[in-house]
C-alpha cells in the first residue's frame, strides 16, 4: 500500500477527506485510541446511537457512541468491525476509540495491539456513512510519503488530507446564496419529499423557500442540509441588523417526562393556558423558558440536570434539559445523549441567512447578502449558552377543538439571539457574498 493507492481506495468509496492520527504507544486495543480532548470528533463521524453509562461517580461517567466502522487491508478489501465505538468521557472531556478489533474477520491486530509509537491511523467517511480505517507502521512506505504530504490541514488531533475529487463545498454554497440574493423577491414555496414545488403559506416559510431554492428536500435525518452545511434562515427588519434577530437552532421533541409518558394532550391540559387572543376551544403552550426562571404562564422552570456551569462540563451522562413543575415533576425533558447526537453532527458547519418578508398578498421572501458562517462546535458550548440564558426554549405548541376532536400541533424550539452565535462556534465569519 502507498499513499496514492490509499487515496484512490477512499475516493472510490465516496470519501471526501482523509483524517490521520499519529498513534502514541498508548493508542492500542488495550488502552483505546485517543481521539481528542473535546467532543469535536463527533462533528465529522456519523453516529448511529449514543447511550449513557451512569456510574454515580463523575470519574467513571461516560457516553458510548456506535459507529459503522470497517478496516481496509492492503488489497483494498473491506472488513467490518461490528463492535467499534467511541467512548466519551465528560470529566476531562475526551473521546477514545474502542472495540475496533473485536468481531472483525481480518483486523490489523499486529499493529493495533502493540505499544509502538508513530503508527499512522487513516480513516475517512464514505457517502453511505461507513467509516473506513487503515493503519500503517512507522517504517512503512506510506508513512514516509505522509511526512512529505503537502496538502495537510488539521482537525483536533488529526491531520486532514483533502481528496482532489472533493468540491469546495463552502464556495459552492456561497455562490448559490449569491444567486438567490440576486433573484430579489421570491414567492413563498416548499419542496415535498420527492422534490415537487408546492405553495407555502405559513409564517415559517422563509426557511422552506430558501431550502427549495437550494434543492433541499425534507427528510427525517439529522444530517446537514447542503453539502455538509446546515443552512438556517432568520427574519430581519433590515439587512443591516443581522446581529439583533432571533434564530431557531433546532426543534427536537422531548425524549422523556410527562410529555412522553402521559402524552401531549395531557401535557397541554396541565401546563398550557387558554389562547390569549380569545380563540375558543383552544389551549397553547408557549413563551420563552430560560434556565433557572419559572415561567409565569406555564409555571415551569427550565433546568440543566447534570451540567456544571462553572466548569462548563457535563457531570452526569444521564443528564438532561428539563422542564420542572412546582411539585418537582419532570414535565418534559431532552436527554443530553439525544441532543449531543443531533447538535455536533448537524451544526459543525452552519450558515445563517437573513431574510425580509412580504406578507401582504402573495407571501414573498428576499434573502440578504451578509451571511453568518460558524464552524467547529461542541454540545457543551450549547449547554453553556443555555446556562447563561442566551439559548432558550420557546415552543409553539397548541391544541384546537378541545371539546370535540382535539387537534395538536407540536413545535419545540430552541432559539438564540444572533448576537450570541459566535459563542457556539470556534470560527465565526460574516461574509458579504457580493464582495467575496
Cβ burial, residue 21 (10 Å; 0-12/13-18/19+): buried
pLDDT tens column, 241-262: 888 899 999 999 999 999 999 9
Q: What is the largest CA-CA distance in the chain?
A: 77
Q: Where are the strands (E) in 221-379, listed by range?
A: 230-235, 246-250, 273-274, 282-286, 301-305, 307-308, 313-314, 320-324, 330-335, 349-358, 364-367, 370-375
Q: What pLDDT is recorded for position 224?
A: 62
pLDDT tens column, 397-436: 999 999 999 999 999 999 999 999 999 998 999 999 998 6
Note the pTM of the prediction, 2 decimals: 0.83
Q: What pLDDT is recorded for position 404?
A: 92
Domains and CATH numbers, the chain: 3-162 (2.40.330.10), 169-432 (3.30.70.3570)
Question: 205-214 and 169-183 helices cross at what angle (nearest 10)?
Answer: 120
Contact of 365 with 356, CB cutoff 8 Å: yes
- pLDDT below 70 — which residues of the chain? 54-59, 151, 165-167, 219-224, 436
Q: What pLDDT is recorded for position 60?
A: 76
Contact of 25 with 116, CB cutoff 8 Å: yes
Amino acid at each position: 500500500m502507498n499513499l496514492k493507492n490509499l487515496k484512490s481506495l477512499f475516493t472510490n468509496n465516496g470519501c471526501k477527506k482523509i483524517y490521520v492520527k499519529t498513534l502514541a504507544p498508548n493508542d492500542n486495543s488495550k488502552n483505546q485510541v485517543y481521539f481528542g480532548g473535546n467532543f469535536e470528533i463527533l462533528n465529522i463521524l456519523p453516529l448511529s446511537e449514543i447511550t449513557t453509562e451512569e456510574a454515580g461517580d463523575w470519574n467513571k461517567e461516560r457516553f458510548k457512541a456506535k459507529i459503522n466502522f470497517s478496516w481496509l487491508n492492503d488489497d483494498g478489501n473491506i472488513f467490518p468491525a461490528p463492535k467499534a465505538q467511541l467512548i466519551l468521557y465528560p470529566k476531562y472531556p475526551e473521546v477514545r476509540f474502542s472495540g475496533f478489533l473485536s468481531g472483525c474477520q481480518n483486523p490489523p491486530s499486529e499493529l493495533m495491539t502493540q505499544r509502538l509509537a508513530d503508527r499512522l491511523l487513516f480513516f475517512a467517511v464514505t457517502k453511505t456513512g461507513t467509516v473506513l480505517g487503515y493503519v500503517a507502521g512507522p517504517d512503512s512506505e506510506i508513512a514516509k510519503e505522509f511526512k512529505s504530504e503537502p496538502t495537510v490541514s488539521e482537525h483536533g488531533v488529526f491531520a486532514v488530507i483533502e481528496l482532489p475529487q472533493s468540491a469546495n463545498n463552502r464556495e459552492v454554497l456561497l455562490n448559490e446564496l449569491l444567486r438567490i440574493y440576486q433573484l430579489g423577491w421570491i414567492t413563498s414555496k416548499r419542496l415535498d419529499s420527492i422534490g415537487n414545488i408546492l405553495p407555502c403559506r405559513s409564517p415559517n416559510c422563509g426557511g422552506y423557500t430558501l431550502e427549495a431554492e437550494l434543492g433541499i428536500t425534507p427528510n427525517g435525518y439529522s444530517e446537514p442540509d447542503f453539502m455538509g452545511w446546515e443552512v438556517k434562515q432568520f427574519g430581519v427588519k433590515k439587512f443591516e441588523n443581522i446581529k439583533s434577530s432571533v434564530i431557531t437552532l433546532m426543534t427536537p421533541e422531548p425524549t422523556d417526562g410527562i410529555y412522553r409518558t402521559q402524552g401531549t394532550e395531557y401535557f397541554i391540559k396541565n401546563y398550557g393556558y387558554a389562547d390569549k387572543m380569545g380563540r375558543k376551544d383552544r389551549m397553547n403552550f408557549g413563551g420563552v423558558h430560560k434556565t433557572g426562571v419559572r415561567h409565569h404562564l406555564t409555571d415551569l422552570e427550565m433546568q440543566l440536570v447534570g451540567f456544571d456551569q462553572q466548569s462548563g462540563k457535563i457531570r452526569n451522562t444521564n443528564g438532561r434539559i428539563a422542564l420542572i413543575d412546582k411539585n418537582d415533576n419532570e414535565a418534559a425533558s431532552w436527554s443530553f445523549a439525544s441532543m449531543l447526537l443531533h447538535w455536533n453532527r448537524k451544526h459543525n458547519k452552519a450558515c445563517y441567512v437573513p431574510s425580509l418578508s412580504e406578507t401582504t398578498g402573495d407571501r414573498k421572501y428576499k434573502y440578504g447578502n451578509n451571511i453568518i458562517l460558524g464552524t467547529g462546535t461542541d454540545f457543551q458550548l450549547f449547554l453553556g449558552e443555555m446556562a447563561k440564558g442566551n439559548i432558550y426554549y420557546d415552543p409553539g405548541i397548541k391544541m384546537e377543538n378541545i371539546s370535540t376532536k382535539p387537534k395538536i400541533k407540536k413545535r419545540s424550539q430552541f432559539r438564540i439571539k444572533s448576537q450570541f452565535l459566535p459563542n457556539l462556534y470556534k470560527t465565526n465569519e460574516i461574509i458579504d457574498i457580493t464582495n467575496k
